[in-house]
């Protein structure tokens, strides 16, 4: 059996599919690609049993065959070839593939496909069609906020609430929380799921920010994505998600309006001088400006800057982990943001001041409680 394909196209597709492969999988067979060739179609599959991804490539072939190919040796071979058309020859009896390029001939020993785990196919469930640019925006707001701690499995993914008026995307790591609500995605039936972080990362690497259609199917245990020539199947996280509405503080009378770029740049510069263990920066808020400062007493380093703002409350000082705060402000596209809180020891809400009517982005961060109170004289009469 023989087929011809561009080395660049094959490497590009394999690079995406290989993201599902673990370094040391429970089953050694999962270190490989499953190549399935049906007339004029090459389907390549990889899986870790929790998340599977396959891609379909058009080729010219009259035969049907399935074969297991080691992922590392195949990808390393392609990476070291210049962009060219290469020929694959499959010897079914010996379980060997030969790759012929302009540079030479390479033989790879393969395995029988029967040892590769079967991947479940979608059955009855909730069917949703979403524009790719809309879905990409939703996951871009949440992907960096969900926990990467596998021991906290219930927050090791993005919670999605579908209903007939809007859809909510929620992510948290226990210190930060994001809730993105969009009216462009609606379903007749209400459904709440938790999509694993790995699945979201895979989708984000493949999805294009264009007006293409994504087909999503959800059943009791799995979620299925059809994205152009790719299919992604993932098991859902079957645990209870934290009650995020209780985390979002209410009655926040202290409101700070500030330029997003100015405060973000200032925090980035000042945090260079912070203690790298705590990354603590302190923000003193006055009526017309914010003072951002930090000090590292171990090395006698310190830095401070001031940024103009509009503020309607009493002077106060709040401590934050700079890295976490930067990540949240980076998540906003608006020129102006508002920071809401009730007191320096309570969670703060960060929002863009201007948003599209059909969407609502809310970000929440827990402050670091400052051990020593700031003297009243320091907070004093700065206007």
How does pLDDT run along the chain (383 residues), one tens digit per residue?
789 999 999 999 999 999 999 999 999 999 999 999 988 999 999 999 999 999 999 999 888 889 999 999 999 999 999 999 999 999 888 889 999 999 999 999 998 787 888 888 777 788 999 999 999 999 999 999 999 988 899 999 999 999 999 999 999 999 999 999 999 888 988 999 999 999 999 999 999 767 789 999 999 999 999 999 999 999 999 999 999 999 999 889 899 999 999 999 999 999 999 998 999 999 999 999 999 999 998 888 999 999 999 998 899 999 999 999 999 999 999 999 999 998 899 999 999 999 999 999 999 999 999 865 444 334 444 54
Task: Check: CB of residue 130 under 8 Å from CB of residue 166.
Answer: no
3-state secondary structure string across the chain: CEEEEEHHHHHHHHHHHHHHCCCCCCCHHHHEEEEEEECCEEEEEEECCCEEEEEEEECCCCCCEEEEEEHHHHHHHHHCCCCCEEEEEEECCCCEEEEECCCCEEEEECECHHHCCCCCCCCCCEEEEEEHHHHHHHHHHHCCCCCCCCCCHHHCEEEEEECCCCEEEEEECCCEEEEEEECCCCCCCCEEEEEEHHHHHHHHHHCCCCCCEEEEEECCCEEEEEECCEEEEEECCCCCCCCHHHHCCCCCCEEEEEEHHHHHHHHHHHHCCCCCCCCEEEEEECCCEEEEEEEECCCCEEEEEEEEEEECCCCEEEEEEHHHHHHHHHCCCCCEEEEEECCCCCCEEEEECCCCCCEEEEEEECCECCCCCCCHHHHCCCC
CB 83, CB 10: distance < 8 Å:
no
Looking at residue 102, its pLDDT comes to 95
Domains of the chain, earliest start first: 2-115 (3.10.150.10), 126-245 (3.10.150.10), 249-379 (3.10.150.10)
Rounded to two decimals, what is the model's pTM?
Answer: 0.90
Residue 44 Cα to chain centre, angstroms: 24
pLDDT, residue 251, reads: 87
Please answer whether residues 282 and 336 qualify as being in contact, where contact means their C-beta atoms are separated by less than 8 angstroms: no
Rounded Cα gap, residues 192 and 218, in angstroms: 10
The per-residue pLDDT for 372 is: 55
Cα distance between residue 15 and residue 74, in whole Å: 11
Q: What are phi and psi of 98, to 5 degrees?
A: -115, 130
Alpha-carbon gap, residue 58 to 37, rounded angstroms? 10
């Amino acid at each position: 059996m023989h087929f011809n394909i561009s080395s660049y196209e094959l490497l590009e597709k394999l690079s995406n599919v290989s993201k599902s492969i673990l370094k040391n999988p429970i089953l050694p067979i999962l270190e490989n690609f499953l190549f399935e060739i049906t007339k004029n179609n090459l389907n390549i599959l990889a899986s870790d049993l929790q998340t599977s991804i396959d891609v379909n490539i058009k080729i010219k072939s009259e035969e049907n065959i399935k074969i297991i190919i080691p992922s590392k040796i195949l990808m390393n071979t392609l990476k070291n070839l210049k962009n060219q058309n290469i020929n694959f020859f499959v010897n079914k009896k010996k379980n060997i593939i030969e790759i012929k390029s302009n540079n030479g001939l390479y033989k790879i020993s393969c395995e029988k496909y029967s040892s590769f785990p079967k991947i479940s196919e979608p059955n009855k469930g909730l069917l949703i069609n979403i524009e790719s640019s809309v879905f990409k925006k939703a996951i871009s707001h949440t992907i960096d906020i969900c926990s990467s701690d596998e021991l906290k499995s219930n927050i090791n993914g993005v919670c999605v609430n579908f209903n007939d008026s809007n859809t909510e995307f929620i992510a948290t790591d226990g210190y930060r929380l994001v809730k993105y609500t969009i009216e462009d995605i609606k379903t007749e039936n209400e459904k709440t799921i938790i999509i694993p972080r790995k699945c979201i990362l895979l989708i984000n690497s493949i999805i294009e920010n264009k007006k293409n259609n994504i087909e999503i199917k959800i059943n009791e245990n799995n979620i299925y994505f059809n994205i152009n020539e790719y299919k992604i199947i993932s098991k859902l996280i079957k645990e209870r998600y934290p009650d995020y509405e209780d985390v979002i503080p209410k009655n926040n009378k202290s409101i700070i309006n500030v330029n997003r770029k100015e405060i973000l740049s200032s925090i980035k510069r000042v945090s260079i001088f912070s203690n790298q263990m705590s990354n603590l920066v302190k923000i003193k808020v006055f009526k017309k400006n914010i003072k951002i400062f930090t000090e590292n007493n171990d090395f006698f380093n310190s830095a401070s800057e001031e940024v103009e703002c509009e503020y309607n409350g009493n002077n106060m000082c709040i401590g934050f982990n700079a890295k976490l705060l930067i990540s949240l402000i980076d998540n906003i596209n608006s020129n102006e943001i508002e920071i809401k809180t009730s007191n320096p020891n309570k969670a703060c809400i960060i929002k863009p001041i201007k948003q599209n009517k059909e969407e609502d982005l809310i970000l929440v961060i827990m402050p670091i409680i400052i051990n020593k109170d700031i003297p009243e004289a320091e907070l004093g009469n700065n206007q």
